[in-house]
Every structure is written in structure tokens, then in C-alpha cells.
Amino acid sequence: MNVNTTTEQSSPVEALPDIMMRVVSELHDVAYLIERIEPQLLELGGENLLNSSESMKVLQGIDLAVQKARGIAEFIDTITGEISNEWMVDVATALSLVKLTEMQRALGGGGMRHGHSQPLNKAAGDFDFF
């Protein structure tokens, strides 16, 4: 997947296992962010939310989305152990298709990050323009 375009990185050609592990990290972030929705819905909807079959389907869908994101992350994590560090990939084109700047940085390996890509301490009402 060699392409002549470049990203903010000095070298967009990287070992495939490193790239895959960044994808794993982003999937865990997605699962965490989705998981945080459920308690908020319960707080907003109160007891009545649990009595509605439609609401229960939504809550079950949230749980399923979390399980799927984590399952995909674990699958990729496991198969990444079998990929040779000699397999190099140019990620420039793929990164140019990612629209969220923070995710683009995280997937592009612009320095190691710890924790979640989405700030969790934003005040209520804060939003990003895009």
C-alpha cells in the first residue's frame, strides 16, 4: 500500500503490528465511549426507561455495540501477534480518509498517548466544530 502522499508524520511507512495496535486502542476507546451512554440514558429516563420494551432494545443494542467493539479489538490484538514486524505499510492515504483529527493523530502514531483519545472531562455543552 505504497502511496506518494504524506501526513503530518515524518515517515508514514510503519510496521503493520504497530498500526494494528493503535487500531485496537481506538476500538477500546469506542467501546468505552459507547458504554458511558447507558448510565446517562438511565439517569435521564428514570425507572420508566426500564419498563419500555423499545428502551430495553436500545439498551441491549448499546451493550451489543460495546461487546462487538471489544471483540474486534481482541481479535485484532490476537492476530497482530502473528504479524511480522518486517511488514511495512504506508498509512498516508488511509489517514487522509479519517475525518476526526484526534483519531487521525492517534492512528498516525503522532507520539504515544495514554488514556482515551476523546477528552472525558469536557464540560456539558462543549462541542467541536467540524
Q: How confident is the model over 43-62, as pLDDT tens digits?
A: 888 878 888 889 889 999 99
What is the pLDDT, as a whole number, of residue 109? 84
Residue 114 pLDDT exceeds 80: no
Nearest Cα neighbor of 73 from 34, 37, 100 is 34
Residue of 41 and 115 predicted with greater confidence: 41
Conformational region of residue 3, where left means phi above 0, alpha means psi within -120 to 50, and beta covers everything else: beta
Query: What does each C-alpha distance from 97 to 28, 39, 94, 115 come to in angstroms?
Result: 20, 32, 5, 24
* Confidence band, pLDDT 50/70/90 cuts, at residue 23: very high
Residue with cell 508524520: 9
Percent of the chain beyond pLDDT 70? 75
Nearest Cα neighbor of 20 from 97, 67, 72, 66 is 72
Residue 3 pLDDT exceeds 60: no
What is the pLDDT, as a whole number, of residue 81? 94
What is the pLDDT, as a whole number, of residue 129? 52
